[in-house]
Amino acid sequence: MEQLSDPEPFDVVDLITRKRFAGALTRAEIDWLVDAFTRGVVAPEQMSALLMAIVIQEMEREEIRDLTAAMIASGERLSFSGLGRPAIDNHSTGGVGDKITLPLVPLMASLGVAVPQLSGRGLGHTGGTLDKLESIAGWRASLSNDEMKRMLREVGGVICAAGSGLAPADRAMYALRDVTGTVASVPLIASSIMSKKIAEGADGLVLDVKFGSGAFLPAVDDARELATTMVRLGADSGLRTVALLTDMDAPLGRAVGNANEVRESVEVLAGGGPADVVELTLALAREMLELAGKSDIDPAGALADGRAMDAWRRLVAGQGGDPDAPLPVARETETVRAAAAGVVQRVDARAVGVGAWRLGAGRARPGDPVDHAAGVEVLVRPGDRVRVGDPLFEVACDSPGRMVRGVESLAGAVELGEAVPDPRPLVADRVTAG
């Protein structure tokens, strides 16, 4: 007779039902759920049902903390001790034209701060740091832990994909969230981000939490809740964490895509670039320097004197890339022009992001290829006065069919009016554990 295995300590259907009616789960139940899911005892359909219940009913602070801890425990924990410099990480919740990681990491490396930046790929209307950097010939996103540490010792920074051993339960759960409409949830976003960041082993973390039309959480109150939740998770685990709330109602900078965002980042490293990209890069750099105990340093100096550019070249070359190689250029270009005159009130970040995605700069499903040359150049900002026929966007891609869809997405992206709108601060708030 076949011997029966020992019964599991909990019934997943009971836990789904309790959460569906807004009940709380215990630490032991959450630990079991995450472990049983990774072992295949809890089926993907069951975990999907639980995730949807969490989206609808949310979680209490203790549940979010316990879920984060369980996802950390599902894999390895890294350590960056022995580098001879503080390791401070940065994370953005994602937006349109958000290329800040590219200038920020070499800037911090040039100032004596190690940045172990584990980044992701784009999906939908938001771009991915790894997709941008793969525009550079030869550049590698996948590094071993030993290669990461070598980059941190020799260059001072690294930008790479998270290894398979870091919070693997989160990776499996995110794959389900992606296809079940359960991404936009504060408890799930917070636990997903912070499980990887805590397991990563940095000494401090600066979060860039976006709100506005181009963000995953458009409402500023939801973004503040997410920032507060993540800062508390960091404090609970002993990771010094601070968050900035930043405006993603308009695209960040001019370039939205992959190769064109790399070009714009290099402009910033050369001491130029769009004012908003420079402003946010420096704001995040100052927060990272404070966590590193170097608040007396002015990061703007490293952009002006070339130190950050030198670090960028070492960072690219250290991961197999050629910093002098020409970046991809699209075969097809088209200019979107104003159909009416007026003052630009708003440039809708989400519409621009969708346009770039439809041009081929993004992907609809994980694993889809991207067109590194595709993208949008935003030629106007709120407050600009335009006449009929003035250029609003420069659109580029390698496919005439994609060009039509991309241009259609941009048709209503610029809102015109009569009065000059009041300027909006790029950094709306700062959230700390205090």
Active-site annotation holder among 170, 208, 222, 371: 170
Picking from 75, 76, 7, the residue whose alpha carbon sits closest to that of residue 35 is: 75
Q: Which CATH number fits domain 88-162+178-325: 3.40.1030.10, 3.40.50.2000, 4.10.95.10, 1.10.10.10?
A: 3.40.1030.10
Nearest CA among 160, 217, 154 for reference residue 190: 217
The verdict on whether 91 is a catalytic residue reads: yes
Please name the helix (run of DSSP H) or strand (run of DSSP E) that holds residue 49, with its range, or none.
Answer: helix 44-57
Q: What is the end-to-end Cα distance of the chain in Å, rounded?
A: 61
For residue 423, what are its two tokens?
């300027």
Dihedral sign of CA atoms 127, 132, 134, 139 in order: negative
User: Distance of alpha carbon 127 from its chain centroid, rounded?
Assistant: 8
Catalytic residue among 196, 197, 314, 358: 196
Please provide the average confidence, as pLDDT, over all residues in the chain: 94
**Alpha carbon 105 to chain centroid distance?**
14
Active site includes 27? no
Note if 153 is an active site residue.
no
Amino acid at 99: K
Catalytic option among 92, 119, 185, 192: 192
Share of the chain above pLDDT 70, in %: 98
Catalytic residue among 65, 85, 91, 132: 91
Question: What are the DSSP calls for 41-92, one per residue?
Answer: SS-HHHHHHHHHHHHHH---HHHHHHHHHHHHHTS-----TTSSS-BEEEEE
d(CA 355, CA 353): 5
CB-based contacts of 45, cutoff 8 Å, min separation 6:
none
Q: Is 177 one of the catalytic residues?
A: yes
| Averaged pLDDT for residues 158-165 | 88
The values of phi and psi at residue 420, to 5°, are -75, 125
User: What distances in angstroms separate CA 130 from CA 16, 73, 189, 356, one per listed residue?
Assistant: 36, 26, 20, 16
CA 401, distance to chain mean position in Å, is 29
Q: What is the pLDDT of residues 365-384, one digit of tens each?
A: 767 788 999 999 999 999 99
Q: What number does CATH give the domain 332-417?
A: 3.90.1170.30
CATH for 12-73, options being 3.40.190.10, 3.90.1150.10, 1.10.630.10, 1.20.970.10: 1.20.970.10
Q: How far apart are CA 380 and CA 133, in angstroms?
A: 26
pLDDT score at 66: 97
| Confidence band, pLDDT 50/70/90 cuts, at residue 339 | very high
Whether 365 is catalytic is no
Q: What φ, ψ does residue 13 adopt, rounded to 5°?
A: -65, -40
Report whether pLDDT(3) > 70: no
d(CA 381, CA 416): 11
Which residue in this structure is represented by tokens 């694993």?
Answer: 367
Give residue 5's pLDDT band: very low, low, confident or very high (50, 70, 90): low
pTM here is: 0.94
The tens digit of pLDDT for each residue in 213-265 reads 999 889 999 999 999 999 999 999 999 999 999 999 999 999 999 999 999 99
pLDDT tens per residue across span 255-311 = 999 999 999 999 999 999 999 999 999 999 999 999 999 999 999 999 999 999 999
pLDDT at position 127 is: 76
Annotated domain spans of the chain = 12-73, 88-162+178-325, 332-417
Q: What percent of the chain has pLDDT over 90?
A: 85
